[in-house]
A and B are shown apart, each in its own frame.
Chain A
Amino acid sequence: MTGLDSPERPVPPGPKAGNSCQTRRVFGVLIRIDSVTKRYPDGTVAVDRLSLEIPDRSITVLVGPSGCGKTTTLRMINRMIEPSEGTILIDGQDSRQQPVNTLRRSMGYVIQNAGLFQHRTIVDNIATVPRLLGWKKDKARERARELMDRVGLDASLAKRYPYQLSGGQQQRVGVARALAADPPVLLMDEPFSAVDPVVRKGLQDELLRIQAELGKTIVFVTHDIDEAVKLGTMVAVLRTGGKLAQFAPPAELLSHPADEFVEDFLGADRGVRRLSFFPSTGLELTMAPVVTAGGGTEGASVDAEFLLVTDADGRPLGWTKPEDLATDGQLLPYGRPFVVGTDSLRAALDCAVLSPTGWAVAVDADGKVTGVVSQQTIAQAIRGAHDEGRTDADAKVTG
């Protein structure tokens, strides 16, 4: 039988998806889409001479209105749709050089509604690709259990069937299934668009966390610009007819939209949204109007219009007028505080706008008050940040 061994026995070096590596990590690879066109027999052009260099170990988001060819582009990467013209290079290799199923097994694939196999248990769903690659059942299941842990699924769900899981849990299984064979590339086609906003946020945060750990090359399709801005290292905006409108990091997209189409697509509040890219670290906080409950007004500036009362541990309780402090009256709610360092200027501004006093409360990671800041101070910080951003972007353009 040895004479019948396949000629491609000597495996070339490089980040290939192996089937015997629990310790070796497979990082993402670069994907180059080179003037690819998809034309259907009826003459419709879904994607028109699209060129994109999808950087390795990062999340690249394809975004655009319906009919812009974003899903077609994604599906051309794993040849679910064959391009009419142009080439797609995966790690420098033409995607047509290997058998189509070998190519697909080296890429995780996550779709809307997860597409789980109803007749298989969760653990067997996740073990699908390892089984296709010829792993032994026990080893594939062991790997599947590892992945359940990685995507935040309780081990007790392993023997359940998909219908017993919520939409969010099912989508986690979808992500785990895509990661099971440790592929360098992950293709995600509107994976989170069918779940409610709260669950979606959880899944997005989880994806960012997993990506920070695994460093795959993720191509992510969405029609939701907020999702694109949140997840993308790079964002490709496509316009109807499958043409690339702009390819840029999200901050640059928001500050310098290439044209009217991109600007419209970003929406009216792109200015506010852009603030998510500026840290709240530089804000000038003041402890002047902060008093401890029962501790009197010493140390606090009495001329302030409102005082923030904290408990003995320094956690915020609410706002009060200086003259009401002694009377132990009803405190005004302090709204949602922002965490200095972790939250952005957008979060700080949001807190200030929502606060009945116009002041935002800043807390540390433990929830203790580190100071308060007024809308005016935040506005100054925003102006400063914008100036800085402009110089940055200009430098990028000219450099």
Chain B
Amino acid sequence: MNLFHFIDAFFSDSAHWHGYDGIPTRLAEHLGYTLEALGLAVLIGLPVGLVTGHYGRGGNALSLIATAWRALPTFGLLVLLTLLYGFGLINVMVPLVVLAVPPILVTTYEAMRSVDPSPVDAARGMGMSEAGVLFQVELPAALPLVLSGIRSGAIQIVSTATIAAYVGLGGLGRFIIDGLYQRDYEKVVGGATLVAGMALATLAVFWAVGRVAVSAGVRRSG
């Protein structure tokens, strides 16, 4: 029995493709958790990163907070929240958001700081408003790096969202945890393969977004 054997057995079993414990359901659940957590993390990290990066202030405080946040153990946070507030989706969202905010925030800040200052100076000198400078000059130039920050946040969420299964929720973590419990290694490997596949798909999505959103002039010169 090798790894590929497990994978093959898992995916060829038609029972795994139907019902509330089927692959499509679990994938959809996992995708749902990921999108929600990523959305929240972007909503928090991106504006703060953009504004602090634009004004160049608060960089030190920012990296301190980000480091502290990173040190929070995701699993521990999940258990703590569950103990305090009982079972619920919010207890899964908080650790996932906490996990993804630091890479998004810090990378966005760094991306904004590393924008060539001379187009920014030229834009101000031509009478562009501060918002114009931020969104029309700095952000387009910083976009590849900003996207890479969101991408690493997304990948971390995809792989960590398996913890939802520990507190009775769905997602691809179900296969892994149930499989371990039932000593059904076929299921464990199958679930892990799906998580890895989804992480790769996330990479592909970000590559595609980059192709569309980043100007050819920035892509080629950077």
Chain A interface residues (CB < 8 Å from chain B): 78, 80, 100-105, 109, 111-121, 128-129, 132, 161-163, 174, 177-178, 187
The 3 closest A-B pairs by CB, nearest first: A161-B217, A115-B122, A104-B127
B128/A163 in contact, CB under 8 A: no
Q: Can you list 22 A-B pairs with a CB-CB distance of less than 8 A?
A: A80-B125, A109-B122, A111-B121, A112-B118, A115-B123, A116-B119, A116-B122, A117-B136, A118-B221, A119-B140, A119-B214, A119-B217, A119-B218, A120-B215, A128-B123, A132-B126, A161-B216, A161-B220, A163-B221, A177-B122, A177-B126, A178-B126
- Known contacts A113-B118, A115-B118, A120 near B129 by CB under 8 Å: no
Q: A187 to chain B: closest CB distance in Å?
A: 7
Looking at A104, A114, A118, A120, the one whose CB has the most chain B CB atoms below 10 A away is A118
- Known contacts A101-B128, A162-B217, A118 near B118 by CB under 8 Å: no
Interface residue tally on B, bucketed by range: 20 to 34
- Known contacts A113-B118, A115-B118, A116-B119, A121 near B125 by CB under 8 Å: no
B221/A101 in contact, CB under 8 A: no
Looking at A103, A112, A163, A187, the one whose CB has the most chain B CB atoms below 10 A away is A163
- Known contacts A111-B118, A113-B118, A115-B118, A120 near B125 by CB under 8 Å: no
Chain B interface residues (CB < 8 Å from chain A): 116, 118-129, 132, 136-137, 140-141, 214-218, 220-222
Q: B139 to chain A: closest CB distance in Å?
A: 9
At the interface, is chain B mostly helix, strand, loop or mixed? helix
Q: Bound state CA distance, A313 and B140, in angstroms?
A: 60
Apart from A101-B129, A161-B217, A187-B125, list 20 A-B contacts with CB within 8 A: A80-B125, A101-B127, A102-B127, A103-B127, A104-B125, A111-B125, A114-B122, A115-B122, A117-B123, A117-B136, A118-B218, A118-B222, A119-B214, A120-B215, A128-B123, A129-B127, A132-B128, A161-B220, A163-B217, A163-B221
- Known contacts A162-B221, A163-B221, A132 near B119 by CB under 8 Å: no
Q: Bound state CA distance, A161 and B126, in angstroms?
A: 20
Q: A288 to chain B: closest CB distance in Å?
A: 58
A80/B124 in contact, CB under 8 A: yes
Which residues on the A side are within 8 Å of B122 (C-beta)? Answer: 109, 111, 114-116, 174, 177
B137 nearest in chain A by CB position: A117
- Known contacts A115-B119, A118-B141, A109 near B217 by CB under 8 Å: no
Which residues on the A side are within 8 Å of B220 (C-beta)? Answer: 161, 163
B141/A119 in contact, CB under 8 A: yes
A129/B126 in contact, CB under 8 A: yes
Q: B140 to chain A: closest CB distance in Å?
A: 4
Which residues on the B side are within 8 Å of A100 (C-beta)? Answer: 127
Q: Bound state CA distance, A112 and B120, in angstroms?
A: 13
Which residues on the B side are within 8 Å of A105 (C-beta)? Answer: 126-127
Q: Bound state CA distance, A118 and B217, in angstroms?
A: 5
Q: A261 to chain B: closest CB distance in Å?
A: 30
Q: Bound state CA distance, A192 and B123, in angstroms?
A: 19
Q: A195 to chain B: closest CB distance in Å?
A: 14
